[in-house]
Structures are given as C-alpha cells and as structure tokens.
Amino acid sequence: MSGGVDSSLAAAILKRQGYEVVGMTFRMWPKEECGASLGRACCNLEAVTRARAVAGDIGIVYYVVDFSEAFKKEVIDYFCSQYLKGLTPNPCIICNEKIKFGRLLEKARGLGADSVATGHYARIGFDKRSGRYLLKEGKDGAKDQSYFLFSLSQEQLGRAIFPLGDFTKAKTRMMAKRFKIRTYNTASSQDICFVRDLDYADYIKEKTGIGISPGDIVDENGKIIGRHKGIPFYTIGQRRGLGIAYKEPLYVTAIDIKANRIIAGTRKKILKRSLIADKLNWIAVESIRGPVGVMARIRYNHAKANGHKNR
C-alpha cells in the first residue's frame, strides 16, 4: 500500500471479496531519511500515514517493513551503474521483480499469506495446456503497467493478484469515491519515485561519489558540434537539451563512454530496423527454438512494432 488510490482500492476490493487482507508498505530509506525531505518518495511519512488510515478504514491489519538495504542494493545501485554506463535503466522493473514480488513476497509468505496484491493495471491468466501463468495487459491502454512486470517469474506471477486489471483509471477513482476511500482523489505518482527534483546526474553523484564530467558532442563524422553536461544527463533518442543550432533537429544517436562523448545526428540516424535485446522473459513459453513473430516496444507507452527473431 503506497498511500495512493490504486493500492487502497485494491485492498478494499479484496476485503469485500472475502480475502483476509494485510496491508503492507515497504520503506525504501533508513528511518532517519524517510521524512518530508523525500516528498516525492512513496514511502514518506505522509504516504505511510495515508496508507495506515485507509487500512484502518477498511478494517485490515497494517505493517511498515524496512527494505532500505535491499532497495539500495537492488534498485538504486543498479540505477546509478546503468546511467554511468550510458544506458537508460527502468528501476520500476527491477523494483517489481526484486522488491515487491521478491522481498515483499517472501515477507508476506512468512506471515502466512498466499499472494501479494498490488494496484498495478495488469492482468494474470493461466494457460491450462502449457501449465504456465500469463501476464496480460490491463484493460486501460493508457494506464497499462504490464510493461513494468515483464521480468516476473512463473512463481511470482502465480502469487500475484491485480484487482484493478479490468478497470480504467476513471473507474478506479469512481469506485474509490463510492467506497468512501479517503485517497480517492490522490494524485498519481509520476516518474522515478526516489529521485528528488528529477535531477538524475546530481543524484548519481551524491549516491556514488563519482563526478559527472562534461565533454564533447560530435556528429557522425566525429566533428565537435557542442558540449554536453555529463553522460547521465542524456539518453539515446533524446532531442531536448542538446543546445545546438542546426538546420534540422538533432538527436542523441549514440553514447561513447570511453571518450566521454555524445554523438548527435538527425532523426534519420536514430531510426533502426534491428536491435539486440537481452534478459528476455518469454512468460508464455519457457524458451523459443526458432524464429517467432512478436509485437515489440522499446520503452513504456511507445507504440508496438512488428518484429521477428532472426537468429
């Protein structure tokens, strides 16, 4: 329970369906840091107070568990290391796999619970023929969060419950108001919950002690056309923030970590017909043994594209 409308309604629905529900909020920071100064973090005192109040309203037991060490190791260290490599990580995916359906599921099982339920907009299915659990998109296409859950194992999917999977966000708020849930009009969380003020580079410097060095922006031929503020400020495909006057809009087309350079080019240069993907989780099947057609997207809310495995 994050203190928001989605997890609050999920708990209320399950209670009404006859489940024995226990509310849990995990703390991402050491207790002395988890205060008002982390106003955007979903584990701050205000969020915990809201979640505890909702739990009391719907009549369920409520706990706050400290996962600060695990969160730092699994999520924050990963986030920082990937940016320093010139990559663009999605820490929500790691948090779901390692914390919410990892450490939290272990804690819940230790308390005698069978499953972990969240307010994610996604659905779980089961294929009797293959004996495998399936991860399906939420009904609300604009809010679907299955993308952030793709790395869950069969064991984790089998222990997951998503009560809001068939709802739209509008219906969630309407039902929460009807159920008299005090968080029915709480603003939705946005972006990365643990980075204050969305200043990734300063955050990484603070957490790692590694300085962020400016460097050159070059074109495809290696000609210097500008300066960048530091590698963590940029991601492939980025257009804004380059500060370069050119006859066409320029985008980040590549990042050269060793030379501390950003390569920029026109839109035509960022369009690719293929990519290399790793850490795949097929979910519906254990593995694939030959070419297969897929619908793919490279980041959340991007349109899907037809693709196939060619090797």
Average pLDDT over residues 89-96: 93
CB 125 within 8 A of CB 140: no
Which tens digit of pLDDT belongs to each residue from 282-304? 999 998 888 888 888 888 888 88
DSSP assignment string, 116-136: EE---SEEEEEETTTTEEEEE
- Listed in sequence order, the residues at least 6 apart from 105 whose beta carbon sits closer than 8 Å to its beta carbon are 116, 156, 159
Average pLDDT over residues 269-288: 88
Per the model's pLDDT, the better-predicted residue between 198 and 122 turns out to be: 122
**Type of residue numbered 300:** Y
Average pLDDT over residues 262-276: 90
Mutual orientation of helices 77-84 and 200-208 as an angle, nearest 10°? 110
Task: Specify the pLDDT at position 34.
Answer: 55
DSSP state of 12: H
Instruction: For the beta carbon of residue 287, count every other beta carbon within 10 angstroms.
Output: 6
Q: Which entry of 34, 43, 92, 95 is annotated as an active-site residue? A: 95
Q: Which entry of 42, 43, 92, 193 is annotated as an active-site residue? A: 193
Distance CA 144, CA 162 (A): 12
Average pLDDT over residues 222-232: 93
Question: Can you read off the two tokens belonging to residue 54?
Answer: 């909702």
Distance CA 214, CA 263 (A): 14
Catalytic residue list contains 193? yes
Which tens digit of pLDDT belongs to each residue from 98-142? 999 999 999 999 999 999 999 999 999 999 999 999 999 999 999
Residue 311 has pLDDT above 60, yes or no: no
Residue 45 has pLDDT above 90, yes or no: no
Distance CA 112, CA 29 (A): 26
The predicted model scores a pTM of 0.88
- Which of 273, 301, 270 has its CA nearest to residue 138? 301
Task: List the domains of the chain with CATH numbers.
Answer: 5-198 (3.40.50.620), 213-270 (2.30.30.280)
